[in-house]
Amino acid sequence: MWTGCSGLRSVAAIKPVSCRSMTTATSSKPIRIGVVGATGYTGVELLRLLARHPAANLHVVTSRGEAGTPVATMFPSLRGAVDAVFQAPDEAVLGDCDVVFFATPHGVAHGLAAPLLERGVRIIDLSADFRIRDPELWARWYGQAHGAPQYLDEAVYGLPELNREQIRAARLIAVPGCYPTAVSLAVLPLLEAGLVDPDDVIADAKSGVSGAGRKAQIGGLFAEVQEDFRAYASGGHRHWPEIQQTLSGVAGQSVGLIFQPHLVPMTRGIHATLYLRPHGQADWQACFEKRYHNEPFVDVMPAGSHPQTSSVRGTNLCRIALAQPPHSDRLMVLSVIDNLVKGAAGQAVQNMNLMFGLEETAGLSGLPVFP
């Protein structure tokens, strides 16, 4: 782990199914992939990325409710790119994969983790099932007993910018949540270097409607969201213990974290603003530039910039900018991501690339979509 900012310098089925555009350009042997629960926004985003991945061989896509339905019928955006047909989950078929992604509700991966791991299948879980290391804490926040606590010590938290080497050797990845990704990347350099007060971290974050998932609910109706702006979960959000666990691990002590999420009337995107109390003065810009200089998916913007969610739409990028208001001793860090890509499916693919010795950017090099 990088530990400081010294010497800073500024730097600018039950049968195999196919994705027509898949090749094996970066791997002599295609990666046989299973996707469990691909009917939500995160699942379809994962299929979109895998459809253009040079080493992916989509072996099976599962959904109990949609078994027998072609993926492209449910998601016309994938027509001509993904020829898969949803299948009911089958342990034998999934066990024939090299890696299985879980894009499922919380608790589902618990039941399938053991038989798949015993078969030598690697797991990349996009739910929260293995993110929190304390099973009692997880149960408190997710309202059910943890179904596979024996794997919590083994699961690697899949934030590549923090745990890259552990990810390479892992067989079970817990993909970070969307808010935790945006918040953690915004403060990692400062906590690692001991340059801010770990007892006083305020994270104010806004998310688009897709963050709530692809389900019918009154709060997500167009007429309810359009021309509205609201805070929610002020009494505690499920991502708080995840963020607190990550930041405390980096700081080497418990972090005093206030985390307040908001819903804004847009489809994709997260904007997190962190308010931090620094220990004295330092070249904060150079600190971030040095820390993320070799990170392919973190863009430290020039001083005085204001990152926009539209500038990362559809990409695996996190853009970061810093500011220090003249009337305050606080340091502000602004961080934006696409919640469905760097906050979910893209980061999952980034983990797969590391696990299978591929270029980390494979299948993730697309430019943002604008407007």
Phi, then psi, of 45 in degrees rounded to 5: -65, -40
Report which of 202, 131, 224, 141 is spatially closest to residue 173, judged by C-alpha positions: 131
178 part of the active site: yes
Task: Sort residue 356 into left (φ over 0), alpha (ψ -120 to 50) or beta.
Answer: alpha
Please report, as a single letter, which amino acid is at residue 81: A
Catalytic entry in 97, 178, 287, 318: 178
Query: Which SS3 state, helix, strand or coil, does residue 30 take?
Result: coil
DSSP, residue by residue, 168-237: HH-SEEEPPPHHHHHHHHHHHHHHHTT-EEEEEEEEEEEE-GGGG-SS--GGGSHHHHTT--EE--TT--
Q: Are strands 298-300 and 318-323 parallel, antiparallel or unpaired?
A: parallel
- DSSP structural state of residue 8: -
Contact 22, 53 (CB under 8 A): yes
How many Å from the N-terminal Cα to the C-terminal Cα in the chain?
A: 37
Query: Do the beta carbons of residue 327 and residue 105 sit within 8 Å?
Result: no
The DSSP line for 102-165 is E---TTHHHHHHHHHHHTT-EEEE-SSTTT-S-HHHHHHHHSS--S-GGGTTTPEE--HHHHHH
Catalytic annotation, residues:
178
